[in-house]
């Protein structure tokens, strides 16, 4: 972030989008493994680690979506965001590397 800009944020793996959680709503720990570093096309998915979609990871998202009544128009893509920014594709690739 110091090289490419963008806001500071707590590292996290999103399990359900666009809601606020209270501490008592937290999920139990589950295993997660990084499969690759990737770059995206959205500010909030500028550069991120892809997370292996093992059953435990996918079930955590499904449970959270069901609990909060969240319906997404796109399939769940488990990832851990590293950089939020609007930067060029060349800079995204440098950051990904």
Annotated catalytic sites, by residue? 12, 79
- Degrees, nearest 5: CA angle 65-86-53: 35
CA distance linking residue 71 with residue 25, whole number of Å: 18
């Amino acid at each position: 972030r110091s090289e490419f800009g963008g806001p500071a944020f707590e590292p996290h793996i999103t399990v359900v989008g666009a809601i606020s959680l209270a501490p008592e709503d937290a999920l139990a720990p589950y295993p997660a493994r990084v499969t690759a570093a990737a770059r995206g096309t959205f500010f909030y998915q500028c550069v991120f680690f892809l997370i292996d979609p093992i059953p435990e990871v996918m079930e955590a998202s499904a449970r959270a979506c069901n609990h909060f009544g969240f319906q997404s128009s796109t399939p769940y893509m488990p990832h851990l965001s590293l950089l939020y920014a609007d930067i060029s594709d060349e800079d995204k690739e440098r950051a990904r590397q």
